[in-house]
Amino acid sequence: QVQLVESGGGLVQAGGSLRLSCLASGGTFSRYVMGWFRQAPGKEREFVAVISWSGGRSDYADSVKGRFTISRDNAKNTVFLQMNSLKPEDTAVYYCAADSTTLIHRSTSAYEYWGQGTQVTVSS
C-alpha cells in the first residue's frame, strides 16, 4: 500500500510560481509512474503531468505545457511539480497519484493511489 502526501500549495499572484511536492511511502517508489492532477470547484479532476519511473519520459496537458515541469527524486521518494507563470485558471486542488504500470498515461481512473490534495489559489 502506497501513501502519498502533497505539500507546497498556497496563495500566489498571477505570474508567480509554486513548487509542489509529493512524498511517497509504503512501496517501491521507483517502480511507480507518478502523475499530477487537479480539480477546480464544480469541475472534474483533470490530468496535469506524468513522469516515468526513471524520470526520462514525461507528458503534460496542453494547458500547462511550457509553464509546469514535473520531476522526481527516487532517492527521496518524492515527485515535484514546478509551476511557473501561474494563471487564475490554474486555481484548483492538486493531487499526486501513483500507478504501477510501465507506461506513462493520462487516465485518471487507472491510477491506483492518490494523495489528499493541496490547494493552489492564483489571484488576478
Q: Considering the chain, what is the average pLDDT of its residues?
A: 96
Could you tell me whether strands 92-99 and 78-83 are parallel, antiparallel, or unpaired per DSSP bridges? unpaired
The whole-number pLDDT of residue 11 equals 98
3-18 pLDDT per residue, tens: 999 999 999 999 999 9
* Residues in contact with 95: Cβ distance below 8 Å, sequence separation at least 6, in sequence order: 6, 36, 37, 38, 39, 45, 114, 115, 116, 117
Percentage of the chain with pLDDT > 70?
100
- Tell me, what DSSP letter sits at residue 2? -
Helix (H/G/I), strand (E/B), else coil: 3: strand
Cβ contact 71:80 at 8 Å:
yes
